[in-house]
Each structure stands twice: as structure tokens, then as C-alpha cells.
Amino acid sequence: MSIDRNFIDFFTSRGHIPTTGSSLIPRPGDPVLFTTSGMHPLTPYLEGEPHPLGRRLVGVQRCLRTTDLDEVGDPTHLTVFEMLGSWSLGDYGSEQTLRWGYELLTDGFGIDPRRMYVTVFGGDDQIEQDQESLRTWQSLGVPIELTTDDNWWSNGPTGPCGPDSEIFLWTGEGSPEGTPTTDDRWVEVWNHVMMRYRRLEDGSLEPLQQQNIDTGLGLERLSMLLEGKTSVYETELFEPWTRIVPELWKLDEEDERIVIDHLRSSMVIIGDGVHPSNTGRGYVLRRLIRRVLTILWRSDDTRTLSDLPMELFEHTSEHFHQGEVLTLVRRMLIDEEIRFSNLLERGRRILGHERFQKTLDETDFEYLHETHGLPKELVVSLLH
């Protein structure tokens, strides 16, 4: 049984109703460009609005984080990823969620509890230590590290927040050593947030009208840990990408990961209804595609996205349940490649003008962008 199916079934058998709404596009009126976390679509219900499905929910939410773009290429960061989540909207508390978390990881996924370590909120000048979580983990016999900032979750400077307890797994060789904050071989796998407060503009806290539980477990990272792999790209989730891309284009490891991540993410974004453009969501998509092309053309300008086999489009569309969008997704990627190729050609021609045979200053960059549609980062890359 797949990891996500196992997760959903575990919580469904404990009274949780599966939620839908897995699109990257937030609900109308939401100011953010993309859904960034599993709890994001549930914000009104965590604030107290009754959810039509009840007070116990479970789901798989696809998310996109542009804040991690510079990290992509390392073993664990992705632009589009999937978050497994379970929620209690004013129903049960921290002891229940932590016991279920322990049960699912050990009995459900077969993880040796001796490879586990947890962190718990140790208290600060506003909120006391999270005694209930501390007692729960002590009774389960899992080693605990107390922290303050690392175990306080918030979605921004104001709004719902609260103490959390994070579960870490040992990924090193031999017996576990150190603690999650002293040894990075402890990898965080599941965060349980006790969302009890709202932070106001002045920094003070007030209790929410209901005490919630919000948990988040990254599917790709859990797959990596369960399969004993050293990167998310080595997991079954990225087959056939890691089989096909190296056959198409010879790249170093970091570039190969960026190309795989950005192409896969672009397919999902287009599948959710976004088109490349110069603003908003479309601009994020455009940047992803152009970064791929920049990497591919660095050593060989004959490389083209039209070489991507349909297997990759089919695999991605099927995994993210996006229906029959394959030809549209492929056409959009190729159209964007042609547009970018034409832009580069025009850019080289313009930069060949004697006016630009010098070190460019901000006035030049502004002129090139506003008059010729050449963004600064593109100009810089053409000059190198």
C-alpha cells in the first residue's frame, strides 16, 4: 500500500474525513499566490468557522514554496511537494495526536522507535512549557529535547499559532547520537502543532475560540526515510524522472535535480490552470521554465523540451490527479521555450550595440527591462 493511502486509511479509521481541494491555487480572496502548507486552505476553520465535513479531517495537499528556490538542488528541497495532514478542529488534544503519530510511524510504517527523538516547546516569557506533550512522550519512552523558538509554529507575524512537537528520525550510520539541534543526521519527519492562540499586531497572544491540532508530514521526505535513501530524488516517487533525464541530458548532480524539480513543478502548476506570464503565478512558472532552459543551454544550445517523452507528462499528471491535460502542458512548455529563445536572440543583438560595450549600471538595466523587456538577471546571464 502506498504511503499516502496508508496515512489516509489510518486516520479515516479513527474518525477523520478525507478532504479534497488539493490544488496549488488558493481560494478566491486569499492574498497569497500559491498554497504553501497543508493547513493553508483550512485557515477559516482553524479560526472557528464550522467545517462542512466535521471536526476531524485528513488529507494530502500539494504545496509550492518559492522561498526554497535557492535550496533546490540539495537532497531534500522541492518547489512543489505534497504534505500529508491530519486536523482536529476543536476536538482532541496533543496527547491524542502524539500517540497516533507514534503508533502510525512505528506500527504502520515499521519505524524502530529507537531511531526516534522528539522536540517539545520548553516555554518562554509568554507561554509556559508544553506539559501535556512532555508527559505523553515520557510515557512512550521517546527521548525529548526542549526548545523555545524551534517549537513555536506560526503562519506569519500575526494570526493562528501555538507550540508544536516535532518528531525526528535518525539517518546516520550506527547507533543514534546527539540531539535534533546538535546533530543534523536527525531529520524532522512530522510536526504536530497545538494551534491554540492568535498573535495580534502588538505581538500579544489571545486564545483561539477553539483549540486545534494541525499536523504536517512531507510525503517525499517520509518516502526517503522509509526507503533508506539519501535524497528525495532517489525515491520511487521520482521514477521515471531519474531514469529518463540522465539519458536525455548529461548534467552534474545539482543541475540534474534542479531540472527534474523545476520541470515536474512546472507541469503541476500548468495542470492546475496557470499560464506563463510576467506577473504573479504566471511569473513564478516562467522563472522555473527559464531556469531549466538556462541550465540546459549552458553547455549545449540544441537541447529542447520537445525531447521530453510523454511518459514524464503521464506520470506527473497521474500522480497529481490532474486528468487529461498532457498535450496542453507539453504545448505550453514548448511555447515558452520558443518565446525564451527569441528573447535571448533579441537580447544578444541589443547588447551587441556600442552603447552597452561597458560596465552596465542600474540605469542601463532599467532601460533594457522597460524598453526591451529584458530583465536584469537575463542581461547578466547574457553578459557572462
Q: How does pLDDT run across 247-286, given as a tens digit for each residue? A: 999 999 999 999 999 999 999 999 999 999 988 999 999 9
What does the pLDDT read at residue 379?
83
pLDDT 10s digits, 8-58: 999 999 999 998 767 899 888 777 889 888 888 888 888 889 999 999 999
DSSP assignment of 40-57: GGGHHHHTTPPPTT-SEE
In angstroms, how far is the first alpha carbon of the chain from the final one? 50
Domain match, 278 and 355 both: yes
Q: Is the pLDDT of residue 380 over 90?
A: no
Q: Cell 506520470: give the residue.
A: 315
Q: Give SS3 for 187.
A: strand
* CA-closest candidate to residue 163, choices 191, 139, 204: 191
Strand intervals (E) in 56-185: 56-64, 80-89, 116-121, 144-147, 152-154, 159-170
Contacts of 311 (CB under 8 A, 6+ apart): 240, 244
Domain match, 259 and 364 both: yes
Higher per-residue confidence, 292 vs 38: 292
CATH number at residue 103: 3.30.930.10
pLDDT 10s digits, 77-102: 999 999 999 999 999 999 999 999 99
Domain match, 224 and 100 both: yes
Write down which residue in 205, 232, 259 finishes a domain.
232
What does the pLDDT read at residue 369?
85
Range of the domain at 40: 3-232
Domain match, 98 and 227 both: yes
Domain match, 117 and 249 both: no
Kind of pairing, strands 186-199 and 205-218? antiparallel
Cα gap 208→339, rounded to integer Å: 50
Domain match, 14 and 150 both: yes
Cα gap 322→67, rounded to integer Å: 25
Domain match, 311 and 363 both: yes
Cis peptide before 240 (omega within 30 of 0): yes
What does the pLDDT read at residue 40?
80
Write down which residue in 232, 258, 273 finishes a domain.
232
Q: Which three cell numbers stand for residue 91?
A: 476536538
Measure the CA dihedral 160/164/170/171, to 10°.
10
Alpha helices in the chain (DSSP H): 3-12, 43-46, 94-103, 131-140, 219-226, 241-248, 253-271, 280-299, 310-319, 326-351, 362-372, 376-383
pLDDT 10s digits, 141-182: 999 999 998 999 987 888 899 999 999 999 999 999 999 999
Domain match, 68 and 163 both: yes
Domain match, 175 and 278 both: no
The total number of structural domains in the chain stands at 2
What does the pLDDT read at residue 91?
95
Domain match, 84 and 36 both: yes
pLDDT 10s digits, 105-150: 999 999 999 999 999 999 998 899 999 999 999 999 999 999 998 9
pLDDT 10s digits, 206-254: 999 899 999 999 999 999 999 999 999 999 999 999 999 999 999 999 9
Tell me the pTM. Answer: 0.89
Write down which residue in 162, 197, 232 finishes a domain.
232
Domain match, 281 and 205 both: no
What does the pLDDT read at residue 21?
63
- Percentage of the chain exceeding pLDDT 70: 100
Domain match, 198 and 300 both: no
What does the pLDDT read at residue 30?
78
Cα gap 10→384, rounded to integer Å: 54
What does the pLDDT read at residue 255?
95
Mean pLDDT of the chain: 92
